[in-house]
Structure formats: structure tokens, C-alpha cells
Structure 1
Amino acid sequence: MRSAGVLMPITSLPSPWGIGTLGRSAREFLDFLAESGQTYWQLLPIGPTGYGDSPYQPFSSYAGNPYLIDLDDLAKVGLLLPEEYQGIQWSTNPARVDYGLLYQKRFQVLKKAVDRLWANNKQAVQCFCDKESYWLEDYSLFMSLKSYFGGRPWKEWPEELRHRERESMSQAKAEMESDILFWKGVQFLFFEQWERLKSLAEAKGISIIGDIPIYVAEDSSDVWAHSDQFQMDADLHPTRVAGCPPDGFSADGQLWGNPLFNWEQMRADGYHWWLHRISFQFRFYDVLRIDHFRGFDAYYAIPASAETAKEGTWEAGPGLDFFRAVEKVVGQRPIIAEDLGFLTPSVHQLLKNTGYPGMKVLEFAFDSRDGGGRTYQPHNYPTNCVAYVGTHDNDTALGWISTANPEDVALAREYLHLDSIEGENWGMMRAIWSSTADYAIVQMQDLLGLSSEGRINTPSTLGGNWQWRALPGFDSPALAKRLLRQMKLYERLPQERKGEKS
């Protein structure tokens, strides 16, 4: 059961085209994972991002992010000419994603590819559209209308379109046919490239851990098309929104702003919306990490008019009834529960009842701002858990050491026996590899020894997040060899390689 993996967002892979893609660098990273004895590649959500660029606020729970489509791979199959994309300035800094440049330039290039796609592969694309009609019809119209209205959120559209009145919807579909075909074609390209990468991962023995946000963005095709599943008023405005209460990291709490689920309605229709969403994710991933697991036990509800999260209250979630419904539909699939944050005895009981592994974050073991304390110290880990040094919401190992309270860092150094010879980042990773946790996942930035410049996200902040990128050559043979040695020492090699000598 002992295994290991690396958390590396696709967007963070190197490429000449401004952002990591599903192309060559992703394939080479699979080689690195296999050569270093890893079992898992953990990703962040891969949906289409909007304002703020957060993968946890996508325009759809089903669609893939157009930015991840690899342009070289499109050229290889005759959908692009090299001169149509190679001379464009996609970024000003290869170590950062410039989402503004991508927004301005990527879709113009993809339009050329999609035009050729429909001209040369119409039957295959139409077959895809028919298969994915459940979500693709709403998403393609949503994106077309969004473009028509200058990017404005759907809550600012004309009332007849906000309420999806039949005559207005039919008229919009007719008038925007070419735009709708474009968005459908983009999804065909994404799915085709994703399926090739997923097949390659399977061939190399790498399982992909995906991430499903518990909430969806208000400005999404999900909420627009299924408003009855959310806590909305008669004019389709949220009555209460999601967030989390104040803690040691945020005095005002976190006001996420996502519309909350109408759990009463969802329970009445057998959780159909949720079950379809989770079933779909297992087409992409081998393992699914459910974000904000505690929200299924009790969720924090903040009045939509509130300025901070301080005004919120805890409300009962669907509990075990929901996860029993999930198991009936998808079976006993591997699911990770993101059980971080303010936990109560009932959350612990729900985790126990589901049997899912929870998460243990090493940084929380020493950080007095969080108060996690002993439960996050490796000697207290249960076997059925996933151990991390930090997640995408935490600083890197070296970043944490340089910014945490000196007393906390001193305790970590004493407990973990950190030293500069091994490298303090390697000492922190060693702690989770050597623990009894069945699964140990490290961030790529910690393997590279990066400080806070490698941080992916700082919660409750806008700007500067989700931008970090590795430089070419980051996944070197020397690093793979060093990582493989750790896997042998701590018996975390994939099952078929367990017999290799340490």
C-alpha cells in the first residue's frame, strides 16, 4: 500500500507557449515520475478559468481548460501551421504564467485550428458533441453569450437569458451558431489530447489524482443551467454564499462567494447533479480528491450581502447519506477527503464512516497560527491517510521555514532533525516518506528547493496566484535518481517494482 507521488499543476510545466500544456512537457514529466519510482501525479482542477485565474472557480465542472491544449500537437495533426503561433509573444517571463496575454491571443490561434477541425473531421466532432450534450450544449452557449456580452457574468445578462426563457434561448442558439461550434470544437481538442496523455500515464504505471472543488463559481454554466440546485432567490441571485470562518491565517475568515447548494432539493432528486459530476470526473482521473470534505458534514453559510466571513453560521450538510449515494453510482472508487480546516467530532466520524483517507499536512504540525499540532506530527499519522509537506494553498517547505514564527521553525528543526547538508526541504519530505502514511505526496517546488517564489496560491488574496512555472530541465535525471533512492529507502516504489533492492 505504501506509495508516493508529486503534486504538479499542468499549468506549471514549461513550454514555449506561455503555460504548461498537455503536450511534450507533460509526456516528459510522466517519464520523470516513472523513472523516480512514483505512483501518482496529483493535479489541480483542469477546468476553464475566469477572472482571478483560479482553477477552483471554473466556468464549468465538465469542460477542459483551453489554455492547456498543446499547439505543437495541433500542428502535428495538421490543424495549425507553425507560423500561426510560433511568432507570437506568449509570455514575458518563462517562470510565470501571464493569463492576460493568453486571454488576448490564445483563442485567435485556436479558432484557426477549430475551423480546420470542423472542415476535416466533422463526423468525429459531431459524435463527440452528441456524447457530451448533457453539459456541452449549455457550456458552449454560455461561453458564446459571455463573449457576446463582453465577458460580463450571466447575472448581468438580459432577464430572458438569465432565466433561460425558451424563445430567447432558441434565438440565441441560432444567432450564435458559429461561436457555439467554436467552443464545442475547443472541447473536442482538449478531450482528444487529454485521453492520449491519460493513456500514456496508464502505460507508464502512473495514476492521476484529480481535484474536484466542492463549490462551483456563480459565473458558470453549472449555476446558469441548474439554478434550482443552489440557494438562489426568485431573481436568481445567491441568498447565501460559501467561505470559512476566521482562523489564525485570516482574522476576517475567507469569503469565497460561491453560491451554496440547495441540499434539500438535491436530496429530493437523489443528488443527481452531484452524482453525474463525480461520475464524470472519474473519466479523467484514477483517484479523486474531494475539496473541502468537511462541507458535506456542515458548511459555513454567509449572507450574500456580508462584507466579510465573520457573519456566517454553520449549517448541516448531507452527511453520510450523500456518500452512500455516491458509492451506489460509482462503486468503491479511490477518493481522498480534503479534511483540513476547522474539524469537529462529527467530521471525524463522517471520515471514518466513509473509509476515505484524509490529509495530513506537515507544516501544520508546527505552525502555531493553524493550531493543528499533534495530529499533524508524523508519529501520529494513521496508515489510511495522504501525507503532504504542504499543499497548493501552503508555502513551500523552504518558504515556510523563512516566514513562520521562529519558535515554530525551531521546533520543526528539532523534531525533524533538519540540516543544511541534506537540505531542509529534503528533511521535511523525508519525514512524510518515512511515516506510516499509505500515501505521501510532495510538491514539485519542494523537490526543486524553491522558496516562496514557488508558491502556487495564497488564500484570500487576489493577483499573483496560480502563476508559478518550472523552467526547462527541471525534471532532470539527477533529480529522478535522488528521488528514486528515497522511494527505495522508504519502500514506496510502485507495486511492480517492490522487489528492487534498497
Structure 2
Amino acid sequence: MSGVLRPAPVFSRRRAGVLLHPTSLPGDKGKLGQQARRFVDFLAQAGMTVWQTLPTGPTHADLSPYQSLSAHAGNPEFIDLAELVSLGLLNADELTCETRKRALEIAASRFLSESWQSTMPDKQDAWRQFLSDHKAWLDDFALFVAIRDAHGGVPWYEWPMPLRHREPRALEAFRGQHQGAIAQVCFEQFAFHLQWQAIRHYARDRGVLLFGDIPIFVAHDSADVWAHPDMFKLDAQGQPLVVAGVPPDYFSPDGQHWGNPLYDWHAMAAEGYRWWIDRLASQQEKFDLLRIDHFRGLQAFWEIPAADARPVNGHWVAGPADAFLSACFEQLPDLPLVAENLGIIGADVEALRQRFSLPGMTVMQFGFDGSPSNPHLLHNHKEHDLVYTGTHDNDTTLGWYQSLDEGTRNHVNQYLRVTGDQIPEQIIQAALGSVSGLVIIPAQDLLGLDSSARFNTPGTVTNNWIWQLPENYPAAARPDDLRAQVNLYGR
């Protein structure tokens, strides 16, 4: 297989990039306008040529991008309202006086009006093309959101039975009564699409590529599970029979209960994995590189009975492995995938990854367990893999270093030849010097921030996903110094 697949263009040369979710950009009027362009300009000035984000779908109330309402849709919270002013869909007073929700409703009403359509024919052509190109998921998603909103935001498996089970007459009646709400959702997805593609072109013109993230599982309360219940292991009421998680290990003595419904891989195989291939294609439309989170779940996944959902009661079940990846690459031969292979990963998972020539990940913070064979140590890095100082689930590198016991801290100092007052700069420099072709640095590390800037703490449900860049980040991160280091290591 390795002789068939070509490396993604991202790996055509050594590169450095930054991990920053768009929600962390400053400002409260949206992210995909001036603030995103400003960040791309900062990356270009610093010599960084990759911008990695977390999943970009609409979230639930907990704000986790890994529990999205859709595997395809964009988060309307990212839409930059000021960009809608420049299109004539809002005026300056509406931008400052209306709520975000009301501003988007005004913009949609104008966009869909006959008078606006006649003055902007190019945008109407793009609108019709967008609806046609994305019909496979957009129709279901728009209907899902409209029904969910009409029922006070309760999950689909608590809707009235006819809507829960997608009875055609019930869906048709709802469409007839809520055309405006459905059109609103479609407009917001169109606005997200236009702004995202504009940023992608802006970034590409400045030598910056976009790197996205795909959670292996999807949320139970999502348009995907509601629209395709036969692709998941559900009972007659739409409740999961089994759920996803991980077994007890060194990092979580009780295991982890994620609660996501598990795929019926036999049903997916019978349809040629079409659901997954469509999902990958829609993300490839947005990104130049894609990471599959929890890649090991394709080799084998931890299945926990819903009736007794303690992780210890789960068991390993074989995943679709080679058959799935072969189907994906047959349909999408240029699919640019990275495998998230962190945690306790067996030889079978690594063999699957290597059969398909997929880059894996190493994390500088994970290297110091005392073993010289630890794959996260610099001398064990591989040219075709990625190296991170830390991930979105880790403490910042400064916070991590400050929390180490004295013995581990001395190990870090000795191995990297650093002292405490050089953290995180020297760890960033070490990562840049790695043989790995792509190094990714969280924005918090570039700014030398401590644990107060941590983005997510797994296993907790408060104070996650809300950190934002300070307004002065372009100067505080010293982009010219960064560029000099990037150039020093041929990135």
C-alpha cells in the first residue's frame, strides 16, 4: 500500500505550524474575517506555513468541538458579522445594536429577498451551487436544527415519535410550517462556507496551509445519527446499545466513558463506507491536511454496554481497518490524512498506519518517562511524523514543566540541556530541530503562557474551550525571532 499512496503536499518540505482553534481568536463579532486574516499574516511573518485547528462544526452547550451537531456543517459562531456589512447584508447600526442571532436573521432575510438577489447575481449563482453541491448533508442538517430549535433544543431522541423516526409525512408537514427557519440554517452554512473559503485562499496566497481534525466518533445528538440511524448501534428508541470509551490504563485508572454511539461497521461496509467517504470529502473541501482523532479505533475500539456503562465492563472489538482505509483512498486518492496515535498503541495499530503510509504524532511532553526508547524523545523521532510541544488536551508547556516532580524536571533539563528560565523557548527550539517533517506548536507555548491558558482538561466539564489570544499577540510572540529559528532548522 505504501507504494500507491503519495504524501500530502504539506509534506513536500520541512514545515512549522501553530495549533489554534478559531474560537481563540480575539473579538466577539466572529472569527472568519479580519481576525483570521490578521492571524494568517502573523503566521506568514513568523515563517509558519501550517495553521492547525480543532474540528470546526457547531457545538453543544459544553462548547466541545469534539461533540458536534454535525460531521459536515460549519460553526455559525465563526461567521464574521463585519464581513456581512461589506456585502450589504447588514448595516453598521445593526452590527452594534442587534444580538448575533438577530443580526444573522436580518442578513438572511436580505439575502433571500428578491431585491438583493437582483443586485448580486454572482452571489445567487454561488448560493445555488452551494445548495446543490452540499445537498447530501445540508438538507438533513437544516431540518435537524430547525426541529431541534422548535422543540426548545432538546436532543432528537426526545422529539415526538414521528419526527424522531423521520416519518415522511411528519417531516413534510414540518418543512411546510418552518420554511424560514430551514432557510436560515442554510444561509448560515453558506455564509460560513464563503468566509472559510476566502480565508483558505488568503492563507494559501501567503504560503499557509490549513490542517483540520476529524473525531473518529460523532455525538449522539447530531444530525448524522438522526439522519442515518441504521449506520449506528441503536435500539428502537434511538438510544445506543453500546457506547465508545477507553479501558482503564495508567492515565485513567477507571477508564473513560465517552458516550458516543458506536458505528455498525457491517452496515457501513455494505454501503461501501459511503457515509465516511462523504464525511472525509466535506472536510477535504476545507483543509489541506486532516487528522483522524483516535485512529486506533479503526483497528479495534473499546465497546461499553449502554446498560452498564462503566468502562471496565467494555471489551475490544475489531474495527474495519484495511477494508475501510482502502475504500477511502480508492474514492479519495489524494486524501491527506494524519493518524492520531497517542496513548497506549499496539503494534497492530502501528502496522495499519504504516501500511497506508500515514504520518503519526509525537509530543515533547510525553517523552520523559525515563525510558531512552520512548518514541516521543527527540532521538527516536521519525522523518515522516509530526512533533508537537503539546496538544489541545495537554497543559501548556510552561505549566507542564512547572508541575513536574524534581526528578522528572532534572531529566528534562539534562536531556534538552536547558534550565527552568528557558522554558518553553528551548523546548520549542528542540522541536523545531527534530528530524520530523512537521512541527506544530500551540499558540499558548509561543506566548510562553502558564496553566491559566490551558485550553482543555480531559475529564472535566468547566472552563474548557474558552481561552482567547490577547490582542497584542503578534508582538508578544516575537514573529521575527520565530522566523529566524524556523529558518535555522530549514522549515
Q: Can you give the 5+ residue segments of structure 2 that lack an aligned partner in the other structure? A: 1-12, 119-123
Closer/same/farther in 2, CA of residues 72 and 377 from structure 1, 3 Å limit: same
Cα distance change, pair 418–181 in 1 and its aligned pair in 2 (3 A): same
Q: What percent identity do the matched residue pairs reach?
A: 41
Residue 332 of structure 1: how far off its partner (Å): 3.4
Give the aligned partner of residue 8 of structure 2. none
Q: Note the alpha carbon deviations across 1:89-115, whole angstroms, 9 max, x for none.
A: xxxxxxxxxxxxxxxx43222111111
Using the TM superposition, give the Cα deviation of residue 345 of structure 1 relative to its aligned residue in structure 2, in angstroms: 1.2
Tell whether the 8 Å contact from 1:364 to 1:372 is kept in structure 2 after alignment.
no
Structure 1 residue 5 displacement after superposition:
0.6
Q: For 1:118-133, what aligned pairs fall within 5 Å after superposition?
A: 118-119=112-113, 120-121=116-117, 123-124=124-125, 125-133=127-135
1:283-308 CA distance string (max 9 Å, x none)? 00001111110000000111113343
| 2:436 equivalent to 1:437 | yes
Equivalent residues in 2 for 1:300-339, closer than 5 Å:
300-339=302-341
State the SS of the aligned residue for 1:85.
helix
Shift of 1:16: 4.1
SS in 2 for 1:184: helix
1:75 aligns to 2:85 (yes or no): yes
Alpha-carbon distance in structure 2 between the residues aligned to 1:397 and 1:477: 17
- Supply the distance in 2 between the matched residues of 1:461 and 1:367 (Cα, whole angstroms): 25
The CA distance in 2 between the partners of 1:61 and 1:382, in whole Å, is 31
Please list every run of 5 or more consecutive structure 1 residues that lacks an aligned counterpart in the other structure: 89-104, 493-502
Is the 1:154–1:224 Cα contact (8 Å) retained in structure 2?
yes
- Determine the structure 2 residue equivalent to 1:113: 107
Contact 1:362 1:388 (8 Å CA) reproduced:
yes
- The number of residues matched between the two structures is 471
**CA drift at 1:431:** 1.6
Q: Which amino acid aligns with 1:312?
A: G
Which residue pairs with 1:92 in the alignment? none
Measure how far apart 1:367 and its partner are.
Answer: 5.2
| Aligned positions of 1:252-401 closer than 5 A | 252-366=254-368, 374-401=374-401
Instruction: Report the Cα distance in structure 2 between the residues aligned to 1:218 and 1:478, rounded to whole angstroms.
Output: 40
**Counterpart among 33, 37, 60 of residue 70 in structure 2:** 60
Tell me what 1:452 maps to.
Answer: 451
How far has the Cα of 1:219 moved from its partner? 0.3
What root-mean-square deviation, in Å, do the aligned CA atoms of Structure 1 and Structure 2 show? 1.7
CA distance in 2, matches of 1:54, 1:372: 36
State how far apart, in whole Å, the 2-side matches of 1:372 and 1:315 are: 32
TM-score (norm 2): 0.93
* 1:422-448 Cα distance to aligned partner (Å, 9 max, x none): x21011111211111111110010000
Show CA shifts across 1:172-229 (max 9, x none): 1111111101111111111111111111111111110011111110000000001111
Query: What is the TM-score when the length of structure 1 is the normalising length?
Result: 0.91
Q: Does 1:462 align with 2:461?
A: yes
1:193 corresponds to which residue? 195
Aligned with 2:18: secondary structure? strand
Instruction: Tell me the equivalent position of 1:21.
Output: 31
CA distance in 2, matches of 1:108, 1:310: 47
> Residues 9 and 44 of structure 1 are in contact (CA less than 8 Å); yes or no, is this contact kept in structure 2?
yes
**Secondary structure of the structure 2 residue equivalent to 1:475:** helix
The alignment partner of 1:178 has SS state of helix
Distance in 2 of aligned mates of 1:340 and 1:207: 24
Contact 2:21 2:53 in 1 (8 A): yes
